[in-house]
């Protein structure tokens, strides 16, 4: 680098850094997180640049989503999209956004590219927790932001080496500066004023003047939200593809880069990518003052002062453009210096190469700081209350992979498991884990606490942990916990952060979703919060104050007593790293009921802790424990309160389980089964006096099993305080029933006991007739609630009528809570906004269509979550400023009365309005639309007046005489597939289609999704072709189901051009012709 002549002292540091880390790089495998893979935006453009840069230095980039699933590789090699990447595939991960936390067991870096204000805007606590989940960070040379991230990492004992550099740079392109006396200013963006924004853009008048003089090149979308934002601008040049190179090439053609920084970027010292694009392109650069420019580019950039008003700024820019045009030789000299400096000190290739060079040494330093120094013996108690062997086998594999510990396993399981489904596994595990011990119990008759009390008496190692088969620890999990306890002699327990893993999607689209649940566990959480056993490691001294007799009384709450009792001996220390994954569906205790009620276990814990005066941070008394008398002789049965107008879910971790008493089994992932002849709900009702004339409705959401021998549908009898009040059939799941309670029953004193009794109940058997679940199962409860009758009439939404939601439209009765009504219904904060109404009978089945928009700016919320009656829920990422949300309406969700409660949330919230209120979304209007039925073996033509026209959703143009064109990159067919008898063979959708080539003659590719699940792909070639693709079996239902068939083109179609006139003949984006579609069964 002898040819670099730095003009500022700060450049010397960069020169030394890259000299030190310039070794040849090849074969590195880097995963880069694409936070929103379904959107082609600025993040997508950056990812494309990473791919180009990696190829230039002989490395490989694999693009992954937030759950770790690969989407494509930089070298176009095949990627396995069926599973997340692992250490076998990838060397490390780079996260470019705080919405992409670490959830995989792979070393990860966070790129410090966000101004500090962004964390506040998007919710400081949530965003910084995600940021701090990563192992390391990458600097863009912002002193302030680097200090912020370093302080977060140091809080958990991570004190990393100086961060490697990663600037907001493109890859290097071979472009020669060509600034002339006719060079123009480059601008890319959206003309927000044309889209109806109240405030015009900051440089709107400047762009108007430059457009009039022909000295600007404007790029941006040709059409946006149905508007041509740059219509009338003669210097508008069109759209630029997100391909990683086209922006830089366009800058080179224009010659002048306009790189203005926002106040948020400038105050944090974070430079946006436009400056680096201009440097790579070899342009003259006009910019406002910025710390990065002062450090590295003050001799190159033409700077303006933006503290003046808009007229003065416009005057400055025009003068500089004149200066560049008058002296292009000087401008080219600056551009060449900047381009060379960029290539050698700031390019993406140099940054990635230097990072790869030092990665191994950084991992070694992290291990030295965070993990146990020696191989430490740890006793691991595994509580396996299941007859399934696979979850236990997966847990054993995770324990076997642990680094830095010597695992000594004590397995607590059912005796029938040890001699049956688990026999072969235990024989194999005995070889992998010498000294493996088993404690066998009959869990049909014995609670888990008695077995755990016996096991804990034999602890010999300094450290021990309690796990169940729902735990999947990272390789460094126990070693990091040991290190925390070794460094803090006053602590009796260490705890890691938590990642929740849940299944998402069905059929071909099935995948695993991981969510960062948190990095820290507060001592007070030990009293009431749900506990995941695998997070904790205990010092043996934690047993000193433990009452083993009390422990032996428990049945699932053992860990809570151990934490609270251990808190009397010493403190709790957090690792601050999420290294424990909790796999939700493995948590089920198949075949075994909880023998001791939760209320009784809470009382036993209070008894055990009564009178203890601890020294640790657990505030060693019973304050904060669930309600109950501390004098056992005066303890009365605890009866919880059910609030009028609320639905209570009974699934695992939900508050509804507190109301379940006699006859109910343990809560599971979706619901709680009744084990035997009946189950009781017991509660007091708060607010019952507010009901008109004391009239109340009991709302039940149930599911049942048909009789094995006769296939008779399950039925349910409902009794209140011993009086029978209802009897009805019950579907397989999500079956909603409204039962009128006897008048005044809630005002007679004492609790209300609701008894649910199934017609039949029996064990679960497999296809061979073997019992796989010995419980007597017939009926399960998903949710219930008590509602006042006729408190107010629900608004009735007429089918196909679009109802505006605003104060002017009189929508007050729609909104229940969580919103402000003005020109629309605003979601206050992040919500939820709750809307309640009725739909007409002919809308079932059908859809509720919500039209939503950003609350006050052009920025969309990152996520929108909505539910219908607490049964149907979905989370989407919006892609348009005005988005339509289709919510399926099915009989089993809305019931016979058509009552609907829609709860909608969005994040992040922003400040809107002059009063400074927070909002995240506006709901503009609502429509209910019935679903046309798609009959089997019927061909639906999509031409004008064809039978298929009612099924055409968004993305289709006006039907023509023989077909219908699609207009845009995506389009949908929507309908209802009626109930049908199950039979062998696949259910197929057939379509007759023809494609239209792209402008360059290439063929577009189209993905097919059914209810969001990938179902296939085809090439949209010219000429008619008949497509056939199957509906995933998991989408099918004997009760009929709504179907949305989505088609997504890989590239945006081009408008139709008149070649003779060289002008646009049809501005529609025509991509595919549809002639017909149909449904058939392939036997």
Please tell me which residue, 229 or 1069, carries the higher pLDDT value.
1069
pLDDT score of 871: 64
Segment 894-915, tens digit of pLDDT: 766 788 888 888 888 777 765 5
634 pLDDT band (50/70/90 cuts)?
very low
CA distance 331 to 180: 9
1 pLDDT band (50/70/90 cuts)?
very low
Please tell me which residue, 461 or 225, carries the higher pLDDT value.
461
| Cβ–Cβ < 8 Å for 1008, 1045 | yes
| Cβ–Cβ < 8 Å for 483, 566 | no
Of 378-382, 605-609, 883-887, where does the model show the most confidence?
378-382
876 pLDDT band (50/70/90 cuts)?
confident
212 pLDDT band (50/70/90 cuts)?
confident
Give the max Cα distance, the chain.
97
Please tell me which residue, 47 or 751, carries the higher pLDDT value.
47
CB contact set of 213 (below 8 Å; sequence gap of 6+): none
pLDDT score of 842: 85
Please tell me which residue, 146 or 808, carries the higher pLDDT value.
146
Residue 629 has pLDDT above 60, yes or no: no
Residue 437 has pLDDT above 60, yes or no: yes
Superfamily covering domain 184-339: Glycogen Phosphorylase B; (3.40.50.2000)
Short-list 1028, 1040, 1022, 1031, CA closest to 981:
1040
Short-list 940, 944, 938, CA closest to 957:
944
467 pLDDT band (50/70/90 cuts)?
very high
Q: What is the mean pLDDT of residues 306-325?
A: 86
pLDDT score of 745: 59
Question: Exposure string (b/e) for 630-659, b if CB count within 10 Å is 16 or more?
Answer: eeeeeeeebbbebebeebbbbbbeeebbbb
Q: Where are the beta strands (DSSP E) in 141-299?
A: 184-188, 216-219, 236-238, 255-258, 284-288
Residue 516 has pLDDT above 50, yes or no: yes
Q: What is the CATH number of domain 371-613?
A: 3.90.550.10
Please tell me which residue, 789 or 545, carries the higher pLDDT value.
545
Helices (H) and strands (E) in the chain — how many of each?
A: 23, 57
CA distance 255 to 272: 19
Q: What is the mean pLDDT of residues 871-898?
A: 78
CA distance 898 to 878: 28
Mean per-residue pLDDT over the chain, rounded:
83
Torsional sign, CA 450, 451, 454, 456? negative
pLDDT score of 248: 93
Among the residue ranges 426-440, 619-633, 660-674, the one predicted with the least confidence is 619-633
Among the residue ranges 97-106, 457-466, 830-839, the one predicted with the least confidence is 830-839
Segment 133-169, tens digit of pLDDT: 999 999 999 999 999 999 998 887 777 789 999 999 9
Please tell me which residue, 877 or 492, carries the higher pLDDT value.
492
SS3 413: strand
Q: What is the mean pLDDT of residues 460-474?
A: 93
Short-list 290, 289, 286, 293, CA closest to 317:
286
pLDDT score of 11: 87
Q: What is the CATH number of domain 796-930?
A: 2.60.120.260
Residue 545 has pLDDT above 70, yes or no: yes
Q: Which conformational region is residue 59 in: left (phi greater than 0), alpha (psi within -120 to 50 degrees), or beta?
A: beta
Please tell me which residue, 814 or 541, carries the higher pLDDT value.
541
CATH class of 938-1082: mainly beta
Residue 863 has pLDDT above 90, yes or no: no
pLDDT score of 881: 77
Q: What is the mean pLDDT of residues 1011-1037?
A: 78
pLDDT score of 600: 80
Q: How far is CA 258 from CA 216, 254, 874, in A?
A: 10, 11, 41
3 pLDDT band (50/70/90 cuts)?
very low
Residue 780 has pLDDT above 90, yes or no: yes
Q: Kindly list the domain boundaries of the chain, sorted by start residue.
A: 9-169+350-368, 184-339, 371-613, 641-788, 796-930, 938-1082
DSSP string spanning 277-315? HHHHHT-EEEEE--HHIIIIITTT-EEE--SS-HHHHHH
Residue 421 has pLDDT above 80, yes or no: yes
Of 133-147, 225-239, 427-441, 585-599, where does the model show the most confidence?
133-147
271 pLDDT band (50/70/90 cuts)?
very high
| Cβ–Cβ < 8 Å for 829, 907 | no
Residue 870 has pLDDT above 70, yes or no: no
Torsional sign, CA 767, 769, 772, 778? positive
Residue 1055 has pLDDT above 50, yes or no: yes
CA distance 1005 to 652: 43
Helix 328-341 and helix 310-326: axis angle, to 10°?
Answer: 100
CB contact set of 154 (below 8 Å; sequence gap of 6+): none
Residue 811 has pLDDT above 70, yes or no: yes
Short-list 505, 493, 434, CA closest to 466:
493
pLDDT score of 917: 63
Q: What is the mean pLDDT of residues 878-904?
A: 80
Short-list 842, 845, 834, 840, CA closest to 869:
834
| Cβ–Cβ < 8 Å for 903, 867 | yes
Question: Exposure string (b/e) for 908-947, b if CB count within 10 Å is 16 or more?
Answer: bbeebeeeeebbbbbbbbbbbbbbbebeeeeebbbbeebe
Tokens 């988005």 identify what position? Answer: 883
Residue 892 has pLDDT above 90, yes or no: no
Q: Which pair of tokens denotes residue 644? A: 């009028």
CA distance 545 to 416: 34
pLDDT score of 790: 55
Please tell me which residue, 549 or 462, carries the higher pLDDT value.
462
Among the residue ranges 194-208, 293-307, 493-507, 989-1003, the one predicted with the least confidence is 194-208
Segment 646-700, tens digit of pLDDT: 889 998 878 888 889 888 988 888 899 998 888 999 888 875 544 444 467 889 9
CA distance 439 to 441: 7
CA distance 790 to 242: 56
Please tell me which residue, 3 or 371, carries the higher pLDDT value.
371
Short-list 394, 374, 408, 380, CA closest to 537:
380
CA distance 978 to 938: 13
Shared fold status for 184-339 and 371-613: no
Q: What is the mean pLDDT of residues 827-834?
A: 77
| Cβ–Cβ < 8 Å for 573, 523 | no
Q: Which fold has domain 641-788?
A: Jelly Rolls (2.60.120)
578 pLDDT band (50/70/90 cuts)?
very high
Residue 77 has pLDDT above 80, yes or no: yes
Residue 8 has pLDDT above 60, yes or no: no
Among the residue ranges 804-808, 819-823, 840-844, 969-973, the one predicted with the least confidence is 819-823
Strand 571-583 vs strand 471-473: parallel, antiparallel, or unpaired? antiparallel
CB contact set of 243 (below 8 Å; sequence gap of 6+): 45, 48
Q: What is the mean pLDDT of residues 741-761?
A: 72
| Cβ–Cβ < 8 Å for 950, 865 | no
| Rg for the chain, CA atoms, rounded | 32
Residue 522 has pLDDT above 60, yes or no: yes
| Cβ–Cβ < 8 Å for 238, 229 | no
What DSSP element (H or E) covers 362? helix 348-370
Residue 575 has pLDDT above 70, yes or no: yes
pLDDT score of 984: 52
CA distance 207 to 275: 19
Short-list 264, 271, 18, CA closest to 142:
271
pLDDT score of 1039: 54
Residue 637 has pLDDT above 50, yes or no: no
Give the other-Cβ count within 10 Å of 12's Cβ.
11
CA distance 1059 to 754: 76
Residue 985 has pLDDT above 80, yes or no: no
User: What share of the chain has pLDDT > 90, as a percent?
Assistant: 35
| Cβ–Cβ < 8 Å for 551, 585 | no
Of 120-124, 214-218, 351-355, where does the model show the most confidence?
351-355
Helix 9-20 and helix 348-370: axis angle, to 10°?
Answer: 70
Q: Where are the beta strands (DSSP E) in 106-219?
A: 108-111, 136-138, 184-188, 216-219
């Amino acid at each position: 680098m002898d040819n670099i002549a730095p003009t500022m002292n700060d450049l010397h540091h960069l020169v030394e850094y890259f000299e030190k880390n310039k070794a040849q790089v090849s074969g590195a495998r880097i995963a880069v997180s694409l936070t929103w893979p379904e959107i082609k935006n600025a993040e997508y453009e950056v990812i494309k640049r990473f791919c180009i840069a990696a190829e230039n230095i002989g490395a490989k980039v694999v693009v992954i989503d937030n759950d770790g699933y690969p989407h494509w590789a930089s070298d176009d090699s095949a990627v396995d999209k069926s599973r997340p990447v692992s250490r076998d595939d990838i060397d490390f991960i780079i996260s470019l956004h705080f919405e992409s936390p670490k959830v995989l067991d792979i070393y990860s870096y966070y790129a410090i590219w966000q101004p500090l204000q962004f964390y506040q805007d998007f919710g400081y606590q949530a965003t910084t927790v995600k940021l701090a989940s990563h192992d390391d960070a990458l600097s863009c040379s912002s002193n302030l932001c680097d200090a912020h991230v370093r302080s977060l990492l140091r809080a958990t004992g991570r004190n990393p080496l100086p961060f490697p550099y990663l600037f907001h740079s493109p890859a290097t392109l071979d472009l020669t500066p060509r600034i002339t006396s006719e060079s123009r200013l480059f601008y890319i963006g959206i003309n927000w004023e044309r889209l109806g924004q109240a405030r015009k853009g900051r440089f709107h008048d400047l762009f108007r003047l430059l457009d009039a003089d022909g000295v600007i090149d404007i790029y941006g979308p040709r059409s946006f939200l149905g508007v041509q934002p740059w219509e009338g601008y003669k210097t508008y040049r069109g759209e630029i593809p997100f391909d990683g190179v086209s922006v830089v090439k366009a800058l080179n053609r224009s010659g002048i880069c306009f790189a203005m920084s926002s106040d948020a970027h400038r105050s944090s010292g974070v430079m946006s990518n436009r400056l680096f694009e201009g440097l790579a392109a070899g342009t003259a650069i006009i910019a406002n003052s910025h710390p990065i420019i002062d450090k590295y580019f003050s001799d190159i950039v033409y700077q303006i002062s933006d503290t003046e008003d808009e007229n003065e700024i416009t005057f400055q820019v025009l003068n500089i453009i004149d200066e560049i045009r008058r002296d292009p030789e000087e401008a080219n000299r600056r551009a060449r210096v900047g381009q060379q400096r960029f290539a050698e000190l700031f390019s993406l290739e140099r940054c990635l190469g230097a990072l790869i060079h030092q990665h191994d040494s950084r991992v070694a330093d992290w291990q030295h700081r965070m993990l146990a120094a020696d191989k430490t013996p740890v006793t691991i108690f595994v509580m396996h209350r299941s007859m399934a062997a696979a979850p236990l086998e997966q847990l054993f594999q995770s324990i076997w992979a642990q680094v830095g510990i010597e695992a000594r396993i004590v397995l607590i399981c059912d005796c029938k498991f040890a001699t049956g489904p688990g026999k072969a596994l235990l024989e194999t595990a005995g070889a992998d884990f010498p000294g493996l011990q088993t404690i066998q119990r009959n869990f049909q008759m014995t609670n888990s606490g008695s077995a755990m009390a016996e096991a804990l008496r034999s602890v010999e190692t300094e450290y021990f942990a309690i796990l169940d088969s729902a735990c999947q620890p990272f390789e460094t999990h126990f070693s990091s916990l040991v290190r925390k306890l070794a460094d803090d002699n006053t602590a009796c327990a260490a705890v890691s952060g938590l990642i929740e893993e849940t299944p998402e999607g069905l059929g071909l689209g099935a995948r695993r979703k991981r969510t960062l649940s948190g990095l820290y566990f507060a001592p007070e959480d030990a009293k009431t919060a749900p506990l995941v056993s695998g997070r904790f490691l205990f010092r043996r001294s934690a047993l000193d104050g433990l009452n083993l007799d009390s422990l032996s009384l428990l049945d699932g709450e053992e860990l809570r007593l151990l934490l609270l009792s251990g808190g009397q001996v010493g403190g709790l220390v957090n690792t601050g790293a999420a290294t424990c994954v909790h796999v939700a569906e493995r948590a089920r205790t198949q075949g075994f009921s909880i023998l001791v009620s939760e209320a009784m276990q809470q009382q036993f814990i209070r008894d055990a802790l009564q009178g203890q005066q601890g020294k640790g941070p657990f505030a060693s008394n019973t304050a904060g424990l669930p309600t109950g008398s501390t004098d056992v002789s005066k303890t009365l049965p605890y009866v919880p309160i059910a609030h009028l107008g609320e639905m209570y879910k009974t699934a695992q971790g939900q508050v509804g389980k507190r109301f379940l008493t006699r006859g109910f089994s343990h809560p599971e992932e979706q619901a709680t089964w009744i084990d035997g002849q009946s189950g009781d709900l017991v509660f007091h009702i708060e607010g019952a006096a507010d009901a008109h004339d004391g009239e109340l409705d009991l709302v039940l959401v149930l599911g049942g099993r048909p009789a094995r021998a006769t296939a008779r549908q399950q039925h349910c009898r409902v009794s209140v305080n011993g009086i029978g009040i209802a009897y009805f059939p019950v579907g397989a799941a999500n079956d909603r029933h409204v039962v009128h309670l006897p008048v005044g029953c809630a005002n007679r004193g004492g609790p209300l006991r609701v008894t649910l009794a199934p017609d039949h109940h029996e064990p679960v058997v497999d296809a061979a007739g073997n019992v796989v679940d010995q419980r007597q199962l017939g009926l399960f409860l998903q949710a219930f609630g008590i509602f006042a009758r006729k408190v107010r009439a629900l608004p009735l939404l007429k089918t196909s009528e679009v109802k505006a939601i605003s104060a002017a439209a009189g929508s007050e009765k729609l909104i229940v809570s969580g919103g402000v009504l003005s020109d629309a219904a605003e979601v206050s904060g992040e919500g939820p906004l709750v809307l309640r109404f009725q739909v007409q009978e002919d809308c079932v089945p059908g859809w509720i269509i919500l039209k939503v928009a950003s609350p006050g700016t052009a920025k969309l919320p990152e996520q929108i979550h909505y539910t219908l009656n607490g049964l149907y829920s979905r989370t989407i990422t919006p892609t348009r400023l005005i988005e339509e949300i289709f919510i399926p309406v099915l009989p089993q969700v809305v019931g016979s009365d058509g009552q609907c409660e829609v709860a909608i949330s969005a994040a992040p919230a922003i400040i809107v309005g002059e009063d400074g209120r927070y909002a995240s979304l506006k709901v503009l209007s609502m429509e209910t639309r019935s679903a046309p039925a798609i009959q089997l073996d019927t061909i639906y033509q999509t031409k004008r007046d064809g039978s298929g026209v009612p099924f055409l959703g968004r993305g289709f143009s006006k039907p023509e005489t023989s077909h219908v064109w699609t207009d845009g990159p995506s389009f949908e067919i929507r309908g209802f597939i009626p109930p049908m008898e199950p039979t062998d063979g696949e259910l197929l959708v057939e379509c007759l289609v023809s494609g239209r080539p792209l402008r360059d003659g290439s063929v577009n590719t189209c993905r097919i999704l059914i209810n969001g699940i990938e179902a296939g792909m085809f090439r949209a070639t010219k000429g008619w072709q008949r497509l056939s693709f199957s509906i995933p079996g998991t989408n099918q239902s004997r009760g009929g189901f709504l179907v949305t068939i989505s088609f997504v083109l890989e590239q945006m179609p081009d408008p139709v051009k008149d070649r003779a006139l060289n002008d646009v003949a049809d501005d529609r984006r025509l991509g595919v012709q549809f002639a017909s579609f149909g449904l058939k069964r392939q036997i």
